[in-house]
Structure 1
Amino acid sequence: MRGGDEAPAVPPEIDDGTVKVPIQLNDWMRGEFSVSRSSIDWLDDGIEGHDGLYAERDASGRLIVGDYSRVTTPETTVLVDVSEFEYKGVKHTISMSWPGKGLEKVLLMTDSTKNWRHSYYGEYWIYDVSSQKIEPLIPDLLTPDVRLAEWSPMGDVIAFVLENNLYIRNVSQQTVTQITTDGDKDTFYGIPDWVYEEEVFSGNSALWWSANGKYLAFLRSNDSSVPEYSIPYFENYPIENSSYPEIVDLKYPKAGYDNPIVELMFLDLTSYEVFLPEIDDPRNLKDDDRLITEVVWTGEKVLMRQTNRESDLLKIVLIDPLYRNGSVVREEDVSGKDGGWFEVSHDTTYIPSNVSQSRSEDGYIDTVIIDGYNHLAYFSPLDAPSPKQILTSGPWEVVDAPSAVDFTTGTVYFLATKKDPTERHLYAVQLDGTNFHSVSNTKEAGYYGVSFSTGAGYLLLSYNGPNVPYQTLLSLREGTEVTIQDNAKLAAKLQTYKVPETVWEQVTVDGDVVVNTLEIRPSDFNPEKKYPVLFHVYGGPGSQTVDKRFTISFEAHIASQLDAIVVSVDGRGTGFMGRKFRAVVRDQLGYWEARDQILAAQQWSKKSYVDPSRIAIWGWSYGGYMTLKTLEQDGGKTFSYGMAVAPVTDWRFYDSIYTERYMHTPQHNGDGYDGSAIKNVTALKGASRFLVMHGTGDDNVHFQNTLALIDKFDLQQVENYDMYVFPDSDHSIYFHNANKIVYDRLDRWIESAFAGAYAH
């Protein structure tokens, strides 16, 4: 298989007479250096032994279905040949499309409106492929308020959510049946509330079809006891002819406050009866202490993953919808072990029985803790309290695994950090634990992504760095391979720019703690010069900033345009270095992470090519928090400047599910919350100057964080900072051209800082 050394590389500086130009901010923001990637949705046509069916939208917006049964000569069919259409004299633009089973009907969405990070409202339609007729999802009623619509795996039936109630549309019978009736601002059916969308499902759906379409599992969220956070909108959602802002009340549980009460319900599609299974659990979690974090159909049964709200107790529940009951089959408590927590994951994979493969009973693959690292284990039967087979082990971790399982051969495919924590390679192992081997080329540095066909016979392999990315399509059974994207145009374009060089290395801090770092250097780096240094930080628990993905980033622009060095350090608490490395930050967010930034910066300040008087740090969200926490802990001794965008400043202000996973509740850890806040603001006076920016419409990290911090500044007469506010922008800061202004101001501010404009 082709490895990273054969990919189009980031071009070296070639003395061919070409005048190379710095990476301009406007070019970067226009997407001039974007990587071309194919994104396909693999389909299951229900034909046994047939694999390789996929769907994608082409550049003109048409929906294309292809078949890679023969990789070298894929056949394609246009299912939807239009990107827009008229209905009753009104033009509608298609934004999303989902083929139904058999490819006879397509579910369309038009005119979508963003709700929260992952959710949206839209108008939904049913498109008949043969007649090319389009009708509203709800016959004779076109509404823009549908929050979600999903096909049954068997086709002809669509579940959808309108005004927080669940409905079923039978396509051929032209009927709509309302399943729930009490959905309102406090009760959600089939969709997550704000905190579950953001922190648990990372998506807009909370319903799960059985493979045979006989049952639909769906979440009911009761938010009646969840406090509301009010957000004023001044321009984004103005009330017509009003001089007053619109106030949006958001159900948002902050740390220590009531969570939504969630239950997994079922709809029997035969009788249209809704039921709540009885769970046999002698130590059942109370309603206000239960998180449901994953739901997986395993044949005709369901595995449900639960944790307590502080995420150190895990329960795996097996539910039988036929008998409408369930029981806890696995339970694990890590509170007395490594001090860590259970992260939310959605990768549990059902393994059906197969006598020819010596699988006499159904089972599943799950990620478990093996000697302090995340690894794969195979459980069979479904109610097994312990693994039948440990599939991986060692001082490295699997990532979002497994990626796929080939049930025909019993092969498990997964991405892992076995070679290097900053890389991702594809590996395979048999269900009996034998024949562990790499699939991607581990002889060269590589950061791979994968997308498998439904039968795991075909693989879209994405090489994402460190050189210019490419994509290949592989037939794993036939051994054929074709290139889908090579990004040759991007590689050629980069020849005309001063592309910085990236150096990865591990450094030791605090005596024996090894952390991963990267350094972005100007293309004409001269070790005899004295460069300013900008640290770019995120640093949240389990995150990773230092990796070997290819990117032409804002930081690359800084290195290229401002002749500066940019450094990133993944300190303690970040991911893929084992649970001990992560868990040390629990109950005291901000301390060890900031300490590692400072210790690393002290090492950089001693390098011959670094100007120690011009060291800055910047970050967004958790990175904004880390910027301020580092400046607070450092007191101006190492870092002279900082730029914090949309920062958390007190973890009591952030949502419960994320915060309590790492900090427990304020009721159990009041001192930890006190210490983790940006509290000693007088220490920030030690920095020469710093910048804070925030959007007033941020539904994630509330503007309250920055306002509370400014109040502390006023009380302690802290004045060495600049402030910029973006009206109505959410956490991504995009409203009314705001994203361009964010980076313009970051760019000019750090240029002025490095030029000495803010020096004491």
Structure 2
Amino acid sequence: MDQHNSSDSLPDIERIPDTHFKSKRQIVFERNAKSGILGLLLIWSCIILIRTISQVTHPYGNSNNVGFQLPIGNVTKQGLLKVSMENIRNGTFQPQMHSLNWFHYADTDNEDRGFYTTSMNDSYVVKSVTDQDFAEVLFHGRYFTHDGKNFTVDEIIPSPDVKQLLIRTQTVKNWRHSVFGSYFVFKIEELSFVHVGDDIALAKWSPDADNIAFVQNNDIYIYSTKTASQLRRITNDGSAEVFNGKPDWVYEEEVLSSDTALWWSPNARFISFIKIDETHVREFNIPYYVQHENDIYPEMRSIKYPKSGTPNPEVDLFVYDTKEDSTYESKISNFYENPDFLLTEVTWIDGFNLIVKTSDRSSDCLKVVAINLSTKETTISREESSEGGWWEITQNTTPLLLNRSATKQESGYIDIIPIAGFNHLVYYPVKNSSGYIKLTKGDWEVIDGPSAVDKEYGRIYFIATRKSSTERHLYYVNVNNLGEIVEVTDTSKPGLYKATFSSSARFALLSYNGPDVPYQKIIDLRSYYTDSEVEGNVIGKTLYYLEKNVKLREMLSQYDIPEKSFQQLDLGQDESGNTILVNSYEILPNDFDPKKKNYYPVFFYAYGGPNSQQVLKSFSIGFNEAIASQLNAIVVVVDGRGTGFKGKAFRSLLRDRLGKYEALDQISAASFYGAKSYVDEEKISLFGWSYGGYLTLKTLERDSGKHFKYGLSVAPVTDWRLYDSIYTERYMHTPQENAAGYEESSVHNITSFNDVNRFLLIHGTGDDNVHFQNSLKFLDLLNLNSVKNYDVHIFPDSDHAIRYHNAGTMVYDKLFEWTKHAFTGKFIK
């Protein structure tokens, strides 16, 4: 019950004012007094209102924040909406993009009709780019029933002749690329299902569609689709420590970048596979705390993880002959004194010959091995030094069969090697020869090898940085006219393109990924006609658009997206007196006013790892744009020395000394921006994740608060002895060889962090990539050195991506709010 004033209980009678009983002087005096009180109340109300508004604009009321204001409202002066964190969370600006699984119908004529498989309206269908009305449904629905049980379709893999489907269900995620699941074969004509097996890690069709090679419990089996039964067991030694045909953790993460370590030969006779023995690799245990609500003890998971300088898994290549039911052991290990070498790529050149790339554990020396199954010989065809850099692991060797004479064909292949310091296409006409023919050259680089080969027209298509290292355009070179590079996409406009090709490379799905709104189109590259209006391709005719992202384009008209501009920053001179030019872009906040003085904060974002790239002219509206719009900050991204696609000399500088030049370049960029009249040099921050988290800490360590006042580090490496051997030693060699380099590259000068205003550390405890151990050791050093000016946010059981239990939302909210606190003065000492 509410409390009432006592007068409220009086009877309802007329009340006589007190003034009726007072003199005129008293009445005048009290009137004046009341007027004065009202005036004072009005003044105090205004003061309170002003202070309230000030608290909204300056929520922390810091006197050092004179003039700076967070944006008021979510609309710009032009009446357009601003980018918000809610936009980022719900994918407002995410374009729709599609993938096509190109194939060639074996029972059709040799004409390439551009067949592909795709999902449409809960159906898995065959389509043709030459006939948009053609659609053959292979499977309908997201579920199926077998032996009275219901299953959900997780993935469909068509056979090469597209008469059967391999369906995965009951999928369980393993590592970044790998899963386990149950597999069924669906026979399209019979509309019947056959169970292949459960807990299968990998399943691959043979090129003739008769068999499926699969891995179960780390052993390889062959399943026959003709007899609907297991045909053979190829290996018998699979275990928790021996992997056949399937990569272990480090080979999946750092070498093969996939779940596959077995490959059918083109003639379907042989299966090559890597055997990986982890017996001597040490274990790393990761506790999981919140997997089940009622668990009172953490769940412990063990992973074989080779840290820098510790034993690597031992590997070798085997080839199984299905006709002879025998296995050939290549014994590549005989070419190395130590068993810790790397086996990085396997490519079938033809039905009887393989090319295998290998290197020593520090990627100093590349050995290309040729295997001939006809003669059962394994030989070294090429042996090349990295010459001060390193051999980057690639998966882009492409077989190319050409007529070398009127009566003879040679099995050759296309590869990428450094030519005058830049990665270019070369052709090795003989599979076991070290002699090559240059296909491209110049001060630019080819990306990821050849995209496709059109044998009929002699064209080798590729994506390259020929116009700019921040763009990607499609070109081709003709093997019959070497030296002439032909532009396929329009280089007169900025562009970031990708392409996938039909079976003969006549048709392509051309994907434009920026800087404008992305689109996808199907083009006929052999057409004698060209488009009347150029958009994307300058060669070939557009058949139709697969995606225009019309809705996204219309919605963007309602928003004022912060302006992004690209530039090359001059960071001064290096130790040899050469000018340091780096790629960079900046995002200016809405309603940016360059006439303001000492006003705008600067939010640097960096990754900076060896051979990486962030400064690309792609379409992207994300966290950085939200920072610019909502916090009135200038966002800057700088690809400093060591990053990729600017030549070998630019990236190889990092060898044996990670963290030095990357940090110096971020500091130089901060100095450059801090000198701008409209920048508040007391509000410059740096944010990074993974290698970027490491770079954030190394930059703060080296800078000691001179330029960067704030830092946000997520999932950082803090000591390279704690990271995996294959990645780290490629750039640092082993700790035994480079002890001083490892010490200098670690985050070790802890007292320098005292001079930073404040920094934030975030990590997931279930990170199987960059172990939580890195942050714990760093926190221990902070404690030992009495450093207190930092905040920590830990995400239980989250892996490197930090998504578990709503962490994907929480982590960005935390980063955003923490940055807002920094820019509005809450952390000022």
Q: TM-score range by the shorter chain?
A: over 0.9
Please identify the structure whose Cα radius of gyration is greater: 2
Secondary structure at the counterpart of residue 412 of structure 1: strand
1:493-512 to 2 correspondence within 5 Å?
493-511=555-573, 512=579
Letter in 1 for 2:500: S
Q: Does 1:259 align with 2:312?
A: yes
Identify the match of residue 292 of structure 1 among 336, 343, 349: 343
Corresponding residue number in structure 2 for 1:243 = 296
Corresponding residue number in structure 2 for 1:697 = 766
Identify the match of residue 800 of structure 2 among 719, 724, 731: 731
- The question of whether the paired residues in 2 share the 8 Å contact of 1:280 and 1:328 is answered with no
1:703-722 to 2 correspondence within 5 Å?
703-722=772-791
Q: Does 1:429 align with 2:477?
A: yes
C-alpha change, 1:285 and 1:48, in structure 2 (3 Å) is: farther
- The question of whether the paired residues in 2 share the 8 Å contact of 1:278 and 1:325 is answered with no
Corresponding residue number in structure 1 for 2:675 = 606
Identify the match of residue 525 of structure 1 among 592, 606, 613: 592
Shift of 1:59: 5.1
Taking the aligned partners of 2:826 and 2:304, their CA distance within structure 1 comes to 44
Shift of 1:135: 2.2
Q: Does 1:146 align with 2:200?
A: yes
Secondary structure at the counterpart of residue 741 of structure 1: helix
Q: Deviations over 1:561-584 (max 9, x none)?
A: 212111000000000010000011
Shift of 1:455: 1.6
Identify the match of residue 473 of structure 1 among 522, 530, 535: 522
Q: Does 1:156 align with 2:223?
A: no
Identify the match of residue 450 of structure 2 among 402, 407, 415: 402
Taking the aligned partners of 2:120 and 2:289, their CA distance within structure 1 comes to 36
Taking the aligned partners of 1:734 and 1:359, their CA distance within structure 2 comes to 57
Q: Does 1:169 align with 2:218?
A: no
C-alpha change, 1:686 and 1:56, in structure 2 (3 Å) is: farther
- The question of whether the paired residues in 2 share the 8 Å contact of 1:60 and 1:83 is answered with no
Q: Which moved further from structure 2: 88-97 or 730-739? A: 88-97
C-alpha change, 1:280 and 1:98, in structure 2 (3 Å) is: closer
Corresponding residue number in structure 1 for 2:247 = 192
C-alpha change, 1:404 and 1:28, in structure 2 (3 Å) is: same
C-alpha change, 1:674 and 1:409, in structure 2 (3 Å) is: same
Identify the match of residue 440 of structure 2 among 386, 392, 395: 392
Taking the aligned partners of 1:358 and 1:409, their CA distance within structure 2 comes to 20
Identify the match of residue 580 of structure 2 among 506, 513, 533: 513
Shift of 1:322: 2.6
Identical residues among aligned pairs (%): 43
Secondary structure at the counterpart of residue 153 of structure 2: strand
TM-score by length of 2: 0.86
C-alpha change, 1:689 and 1:172, in structure 2 (3 Å) is: same
- The question of whether the paired residues in 1 share the 8 Å contact of 2:207 and 2:266 is answered with yes
Letter in 1 for 2:423: N
Corresponding residue number in structure 1 for 2:267 = 212
1:573-588 to 2 correspondence within 5 Å?
573-588=642-657
Q: Deviations over 1:601-629 (max 9, x none)?
A: 10011112211111000011000001111
Letter in 2 for 1:291: L
Identify the match of residue 332 of structure 1 among 369, 373, 384: 384
Shift of 1:45: 3.0
Identify the match of residue 256 of structure 2 among 184, 201, 226: 201
- The question of whether the paired residues in 1 share the 8 Å contact of 2:160 and 2:209 is answered with yes
Shift of 1:731: 0.4
Secondary structure at the counterpart of residue 154 of structure 2: strand
Shift of 1:235: 2.0
- The question of whether the paired residues in 2 share the 8 Å contact of 1:277 and 1:321 is answered with no
Letter in 2 for 1:303: I
Secondary structure at the counterpart of residue 45 of structure 1: coil
Q: Deviations over 1:378-418 (max 9, x none)?
A: 1111122121x201111111111211111111111111111
Secondary structure at the counterpart of residue 73 of structure 1: strand
Taking the aligned partners of 1:44 and 1:680, their CA distance within structure 2 comes to 60
Q: Which moved further from structure 2: 350-359 or 509-518? A: 350-359
C-alpha change, 1:356 and 1:426, in structure 2 (3 Å) is: farther
Corresponding residue number in structure 1 for 2:432 = 383
Taking the aligned partners of 1:691 and 1:256, their CA distance within structure 2 comes to 30
Q: Deviations over 1:31-67 (max 9, x none)?
A: 1111111111112334563335444443544212112
Corresponding residue number in structure 2 for 1:8 = none
Secondary structure at the counterpart of residue 751 of structure 1: helix
Secondary structure at the counterpart of residue 742 of structure 2: helix
C-alpha change, 1:25 and 1:230, in structure 2 (3 Å) is: same
Identify the match of residue 85 of structure 2 among 8, 11, 25: 25
Secondary structure at the counterpart of residue 521 of structure 2: strand
Secondary structure at the counterpart of residue 222 of structure 2: strand
Secondary structure at the counterpart of residue 80 of structure 2: coil
Q: Does 1:633 align with 2:692?
A: no
Corresponding residue number in structure 2 for 1:135 = 194
Identify the match of residue 564 of structure 1 among 633, 636, 640: 633
Identify the match of residue 309 of structure 1 among 361, 364, 376: 361
Shift of 1:123: 1.4
- The question of whether the paired residues in 1 share the 8 Å contact of 2:76 and 2:590 is answered with no
Q: Does 1:320 align with 2:372?
A: yes
1:425-464 to 2 correspondence within 5 Å?
425-432=473-480, 433-464=482-513
C-alpha change, 1:381 and 1:616, in structure 2 (3 Å) is: same
Shift of 1:354: 3.0
- The question of whether the paired residues in 1 share the 8 Å contact of 2:82 and 2:561 is answered with yes
Q: Deviations over 1:347-370 (max 9, x none)?
A: 111011336899842211110111
Identify the match of residue 36 of structure 1 among 90, 96, 101: 96
Corresponding residue number in structure 2 for 1:222 = 277
Shift of 1:327: 0.3
- The question of whether the paired residues in 2 share the 8 Å contact of 1:67 and 1:76 is answered with yes
Taking the aligned partners of 1:276 and 1:75, their CA distance within structure 2 comes to 47
Taking the aligned partners of 2:305 and 2:702, their CA distance within structure 1 comes to 30
Aligned length: 731
Question: Gaps spanning 5+ residues in structure 1: where?
Answer: 1-14
- The question of whether the paired residues in 2 share the 8 Å contact of 1:258 and 1:288 is answered with no
TM-score by length of 1: 0.94
C-alpha change, 1:202 and 1:16, in structure 2 (3 Å) is: closer
Secondary structure at the counterpart of residue 510 of structure 1: strand
- Structure with more relative contact order (C-alpha pairs < 8 Å, separation 6 or more): 1
Shift of 1:241: 6.5
Shift of 1:19: 3.1
RMSD: 1.8
C-alpha change, 1:626 and 1:280, in structure 2 (3 Å) is: closer
- The question of whether the paired residues in 1 share the 8 Å contact of 2:313 and 2:340 is answered with no
Corresponding residue number in structure 2 for 1:99 = 158
Q: Which moved further from structure 2: 54-63 or 696-705? A: 54-63
Shift of 1:89: 3.9
Taking the aligned partners of 1:719 and 1:57, their CA distance within structure 2 comes to 55
- The question of whether the paired residues in 1 share the 8 Å contact of 2:184 and 2:193 is answered with yes
Letter in 2 for 1:64: V
Taking the aligned partners of 1:551 and 1:358, their CA distance within structure 2 comes to 53
Corresponding residue number in structure 2 for 1:12 = none
Letter in 1 for 2:370: L
C-alpha change, 1:453 and 1:727, in structure 2 (3 Å) is: same
Corresponding residue number in structure 2 for 1:271 = 324
Shift of 1:18: 7.5
